[in-house]
Amino acid sequence: MDQFFVSSPFTLVASAANAACWSGRHDVRSRLERLCHSFSKRNDSSLDMIWANFGSGKSHALFYLGHVVNEQCGENVIPAFVEMPEQLQHFIDLYRRIVLNLPLKRICQMILDRLPPSRNPNLVRAASAMVHGGAFERPLAEQWLHAERPNLRELKKGTNIDARIDDPAACDVLSDMIWSMAQTGSRLLLLLDEFQRVRVLQQRARNSLLSNLRSLFSRNPNGLTVVLVVGSRVENSATELLPPELLTLVGMRPSISLPEFNESEAKEFLLGRLAFFRPPNYSGAPTAPFGADVIDKTLTFIHSKNAARLIPRTILQAFGYLYDEAAVDEKGEMKPQEVERLLAELRWDEQTAT
């Protein structure tokens, strides 16, 4: 990108590409890593929740958890990062997003190894076509598993599957996938982002979603972990989204929250973030291209704004703007007077801050 960074450290969009980056919030990092460690100690199904206000790094925490799982748990835990649909009408809408993020061929081999054909004949037929089928059979099976609408005549001819996946069957298919994984000692880790969207669903859609989630757990006491991420200002607003049957699965374990930084924590977060994106042979100052004085004064300035908060989104927005607009002197630092002028140009209202 330039002498300071190989790619932008100021991106606001969480992604798998930057999942290995974690800066600040050592207690949260420890909680996530302990959660990952628990997967190798017990095979019980579990439900956990991460909650925080918008812009606090919730989605990134999910990606980081998926990264740690891949690093520490090998192939025994299969993570699937899924964002809750905004206009979910039926459980099958969520099912489609989950399956698109699964290694289907690998799971189909588990199905063939463990699932009795009589338990879910069409799923076993689809798994057989995925593992052993050719150029005609495999795409049909994949369309079926994705709950698309393949031609029924071709589907029957190529795979012997006699019905498409409809809404009631979606929970059965996903449940039998999880059961097959559990029988091989594997676990599905469903990382479900933006779960607060449940609040705006119509009652019928919300009941369908929560009922099917309960069914997945009741049918699978082993092999399933769901981590819900909820955008909320307070914990009570997050937990009230779950019915008692699901809250029981959370039990006495505390939720994971991402509180606002103080200025010292915010500086640690920023410097850690900058360090992650430095070129491999970077030997410059850890505060470049801002300078220690500019960083301290900028964080103090943000903290002084009543409508702004010291959270990752606000910090990255402010320093990203300075990086784009401010000139850097021969020492590789920005001039405080210019920075002060640029910060005054930004909108520090509540809508921008959240």
Mean pLDDT, rounded, of the chain: 92
DSSP classification of residue 313: H
pLDDT for position 115:
97
Dist. CA 170–CA 134, nearest whole Å:
25
pLDDT at position 330 over 80: no
pLDDT for position 351:
42
Hey, which of 61-75, 97-111, 189-203, 226-240 has the most confident mean pLDDT? Answer: 97-111
DSSP classification of residue 17: G
Mean pLDDT of 163-167: 93
The token duo for 125 is 């037929």
pLDDT at position 353 over 50: no
The token duo for 1 is 């990108």
Mean pLDDT of 292-296: 95
Mean pLDDT of 20-48: 92
Mean pLDDT of 115-138: 97
Residue with tokens 């091989």: 184
Taken as a whole, the chain contains a residue count of 354
pLDDT for position 328:
87
Residue with tokens 């850097």: 328
Which residue, 236, 304, 315, 322, is CA-closest to 25? 315
pLDDT for position 200:
87
Q: pLDDT band for 32, please (50, 70, 90 cuts).
A: very high
Mean pLDDT of 48-67: 91
| Percentage of residues in the chain having pLDDT higher than 90 | 74
Phi, psi of 321 (to 5 degrees): -65, -45
Hey, which of 1-15, 32-46, 236-250, 264-278 has the most confident mean pLDDT? Answer: 264-278
The token duo for 280 is 């491999």
Q: Is the pTM of this model over 0.95?
A: no
* Comparison of pLDDT for 228 and 309, the residue scoring more: 228
Dist. CA 38–CA 108, nearest whole Å:
26
pLDDT for position 352:
45
How many C-beta neighbours within 10 Å does residue 209 have?
22
pLDDT at position 237 over 90: no
Q: Which of 80-89, 125-134, 190-199, 247-256 has the lowest mean pLDDT?
A: 247-256
Dist. CA 141–CA 153, nearest whole Å:
13
Phi, psi of 211 (to 5 degrees): -65, -40
Phi, psi of 127 (to 5 degrees): -65, -40
pLDDT for position 234:
67
Residue with tokens 């698109």: 100
